[in-house]
Structure 1
Amino acid sequence: MVITLLISIGIISLLSVFLAILMVIADATIGNYGTVKISINDGSKVLEVDGGQPLLRALNQEGVFIPSACGGRGSCGLCKVKVVSGGGDYLPTELPFISDEERKQLIRLSCQVKVKTDVAIVIPEELFLVKEFTTVVESIKDLTHDIKQVTLSLKDPTEISTKAGQYIQFVVPEYEDSDESVYRAYSMASPPGDSKHVELEIRLVPNGICTTYVHKHLKEGDEVIINGPYGEFYLRDTERNIIFIAGGSGMAPIKSMLLDMEKKGSTRKTTYFFGARSKRDLFLLDEMKALEKTIPNFTFVPALSEPQAEDKWEGEVGLITDVVRRMVSEGSNSEAYLCGSPGMIDACIKVLHELEVPPENVFYDKF
């Protein structure tokens, strides 16, 4: 009886896989959708593209870049556009990222919408300003055992206009671990004042397509394609106190903001809480300490959650959220900028709420 049941389950599973493969093949080969039109913002721009491909890819190929941290895998939820017509029904892969209000506004994940017929969409006008850049790797430096600093020199165009805290998308070519070109989002550590370079701090993620390429294959002198800039994660021009919280490669956008503050002579009260596991995960300590001397009212607070005996650590200890809770008494006149893992950001938002930092004054990019 058990054997018969297992055989039945196996047959059903094989049939399901076979049908799924047939559907993919049919959609790719039999379903010839020809050329379709994408009308953008009431026809202010009309593109003719090959039908059957994801909307995100079709737009990118025509030089219209939609932000996406995962490179179109449907796991980040950033590539949202308003699809007025031609998008078909919502897919189950979209729904976890689309709120009820967004559904009413016809918001879709562009990586999940296939352009099978003419499509009409609406996107923010500023996305037309996003450009693709050819760059050259000027330098690669080890910041920690698993974080590399990659400095790109812009080749064509030769300058980029950014706000401190924004990010770019890094295009990874085909290589032994990836049979297609992919792209991933990385915050810029370079300040807006340096328009000829883009500095990235890239942490090695096990089996990560882009991070593996950067850590194991990328060399100085290599050519790299990027596009950007993107993001609303930038320093607001107010007089409120600033709370920076970051961990790991989340240092990048905060460093950019601090360098921009230094150049502009900011005097706002600023505290930067940086969390790491042990001393080997800390980096740029000397640079942060130097900024304490050049930026009035700036304090850098590194903290270790699991200091080792050999670290001989005398600084703050504990989760970075606990350190923030201990050192910030009240936050109603503050704004906070967070960069780290989604879990860290969620935990920080909870603590900041306890400290009465207004929700509209808490900023982050969750990727």
Structure 2
Amino acid sequence: MDAAMTFKVTVQPSGHTFWAEANEAILEAGLRQGVALPYGCRGGVCGSCAATVLSGQVHYPFGEPQGLAPYDEERGKAFLCMAAALSDLEVDSPRVGMEPDIEIKALPVRVEKLRKLAADVMELTLKLPASERLRFRAGQYIDILLKDGKRRGFSLANAPFNDQFLELHIRHVPGGYFTSHVFNEMKEKALLRIEGPLGSFYIRESEHPMILIGGGTGFAPLKGMLEQMMAQGMDKPVHLYWGVRAKADLYMDSVVRSWEARHPQLVYVPVLSEPHLEDAWAGRTGWVHEAVAADFPDLSGHDVYLSGPPPMVNAAKAAFWAQGLPENQLFYDSFEYSPDTLKAMQESLS
């Protein structure tokens, strides 16, 4: 294909238009021209950028998206972070233009505090410069910019009103360069550079009751959302489901239980997939999305916010759509590993 070719992309229902070059990711073309398309990982995993192709054709010159499931393709979905146009396009992306943009900044930060929340989870608190604040929405994430040009994305675990500090929950990944550095070498007062806020995972205005579902450290962005709602006054039912392996992985269980005691609208349901014998667990067990599906056979009247590892997110999406959840009432953030971390993990298992 002639690299000089460009194609017109029209986004419905907002009516936004922009031009995409041949072999240019549609998401990048839109963002470059000021169209606030939703996105998350930018790596073809999370699916936050998925849009329905109404007319025209796309292809994937950068590789098939890992998170593109058969049911996505059957519904005419394309992952715009990896798709390029083969013709003029009309796509359906209902969230475009609904809310004003927030400025993305690159900023220096200082490590204010390191606190172990569990054997493999570290709370990393970053302090912004005195003259700077990072305006963000509860649930969004930041990238930590590494010296080799690589990035590591982590969800913000605090609410925007507490914006002098940024709170991250970092799980130690075996073979992970950055997470190993955080656990073994990083010291307080160390300097880092970040870019953010990023992503399209944040609370939407709605009268529907909410179901928040976190897997592991997928609890982090939900914590920020809950803090925001509690500060503003929780005026509708909110169910929080937190899925982990064993009781020790519920690293802020007592905090959430204290919130539940103070806010009648909040219901907290922890779910263990592999409880230890010593846990003496009498609560819910199994997969967290299956617990939600059992409690809510009809999801058509709820907004669902979902964050965690890709297998959990993909399984939950399929299950919830089968139980009547409209696509525009599901918001999710899929926590994918960086390619080099995945490689290190695979090598450690070989």
TM score, norm. by length of structure 2: 0.70
Task: Tell me if structure 2 keeps the 8 A contact 1:133–1:225.
Answer: yes
1:62-110 per-position Cα deviation (integer Å, ceiling 9, x unaligned): xxxx97747xxx5658898xxxxxxxxx87434447999899x9x6659
Q: Which residue of 2 aligns with 1:171?
A: 145
SS at match of 2:261: helix
Counterparts of 1:106-125 in structure 2, within 5 Å, are: 109=82
Alignment partner of 1:141 is 2:91: no
Could you tell me which residue of structure 1 aligns to residue 134 of structure 2? 160
Pair 1:364 & 2:338 matched:
no
Runs of 4+ in 1 over 4 A off after TM superposition: 74-80, 97-103, 107-110, 124-128
2:167 maps to 199
Gaps in structure 1 of 5+ consecutive residues: 1-55, 61-65, 81-89, 113-123, 174-179
2:98 maps to 1:129:
no
Q: Which has the higher contact order (CA 8 A, sep 6+)?
A: 2
The equivalent of 1:151 in structure 2 is: 125
> Structure 1 vs Structure 2: percent identity of aligned residues?
31
Partners of 1:346 and 1:297 in 2: CA distance = 28
Task: Return the alpha-carbon distance in structure 2 between the equivalents of residues 286 and 270 of structure 1.
Answer: 18
In 2, Cα distance between equivalents of 1:337 and 1:153: 28
1:305 matched to which residue of 2?
A: 273
Tell me, yes or no, if structure 1 residue 294 matches structure 2 residue 262: yes
Name the CA distance, whole Å, in 1 between partners of 2:102 and 2:273: 43
Counterpart in 2 of 1:246? 214
CA-CA distance at 1:245 after TM superposition:
0.7
Is 1:331 the equivalent of 2:305?
no
Higher helix share: 1
> What residue in structure 1 maps to residue 205 of structure 2?
237
Unaligned stretches of 5+ residues in structure 2? 1-27, 33-37, 50-58, 85-96, 336-350
Partner of 2:62: 93
Structure 1 residues 194 and 224: alpha-carbon distance in aligned structure 2, compared to 1, 3 A threshold = same
Counterpart code for 2:334: K
TM-score (norm 1): 0.67
Could you tell me which amino acid in structure 2 is paired with residue 129 of structure 1?
E
Deviation at 1:160, TM superposition (A): 1.0
Indicate the SS of the match to 2:224: helix
Which residue type is aligned with residue 127 of structure 2? S
Number of the residue aligned with 1:225:
193
Q: Report which of the two structures shows the higher radius of gyration computed on alpha carbons.
A: 1
SS in 2 for 1:353: helix
CA-based RMSD: 3.4
- Return closer, same or farther for 1:322/1:252 CA change in 2, 3 Å cut-off: same
Judge conservation of contact 1:134–1:156 (CA < 8 Å) in 2. no
1:183 equivalent in structure 2: 151
Structure 1 residue 294 displacement after superposition: 2.9
Residue type of the alignment partner of 2:266: F
Letter in 2 for 1:163: R
In structure 2, C-alpha distance between the alignment counterparts of 1:77 and 1:341, rounded to whole Å: 9
Return the offset for 1:146. Answer: 0.9
Tell me if 1:285 matches 2:243: no
Equivalences, count: 277
Whether 1:353 and 2:327 are equivalent positions in the alignment is: no
Cα distance in structure 2, aligned partners of 1:239 and 1:139: 38
